């Protein structure tokens, strides 16, 4: 299927197998490997991205379901000049990283709380 995904403000026209997971599209087709994959069944949250402004586990969503949607990944948090997002600064300041594997998903989930605060 032909779809257009708007990821971090950039439109990507893609031809996708309807069964391809959004996490695989982001990581393998678009090279956005900041979105991590852990459990692959919706439990750990590592793969969380924002779809239309809401957190979504990209391992449970098909790429074609995101057709036309605005998607934000962890790569879209920092400013264009590389300045970290205030949430990234807070995670670093308060040692919120642990091993770091799930941090991208934590950041994207926390972003919705930060935004609403």
* Contact residues: ligand FES, CB under 6 A: 37-40, 42-47, 57, 59
Q: Are 58 and 26 in contact (CB under 8 A)?
A: yes
- Report, in Å, the least distance between residue 82 CB and ligand FES: 27
- Report, in Å, the least distance between residue 32 CB and ligand FES: 15
Closer to ligand FES at the Cβ: 25 or 46? 46
Q: Which residue is nearest to ligand FES (CB)?
A: 59
Closer to ligand FES at the Cβ: 25 or 37? 37
Q: Which residues have a Cβ under 8 Å from the Cβ of 46 and sit 6 or more positions away?
A: 35, 36, 37, 38, 39, 101, 102, 104, 105
- Report, in Å, the least distance between residue 34 CB and ligand FES: 13
Closer to ligand FES at the Cβ: 32 or 59? 59
Distance CA 20, CA 22 (A): 7
Closer to ligand FES at the Cβ: 5 or 26? 26
- Report, in Å, the least distance between residue 105 CB and ligand FES: 7
For residue 10, give Cα distances in angstroms to 76, 88, 98: 10, 22, 31
Name the token pair of 92. Answer: 């670093």
Distance CA 39, CA 45 (A): 8
């Amino acid at each position: 299927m032909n779809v257009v995904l708007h990821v971090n403000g950039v439109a990507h026209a893609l031809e996708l197998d309807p069964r391809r997971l959004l996490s695989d599209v982001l990581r393998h087709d678009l090279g956005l490997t900041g979105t991590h994959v852990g459990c692959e069944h919706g439990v750990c949250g590592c793969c969380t991205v924002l779809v239309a402004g809401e957190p979504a586990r990209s391992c449970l969503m098909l790429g074609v379901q995101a057709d036309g949607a605005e998607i934000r990944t962890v790569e879209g948090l920092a400013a264009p000049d590389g300045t970290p997002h205030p949430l990234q600064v807070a995670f670093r300041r308060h040692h919120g990283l642990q091993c770091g594997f799930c941090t991208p998903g934590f950041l994207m989930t926390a972003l919705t709380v930060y935004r609403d605060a």
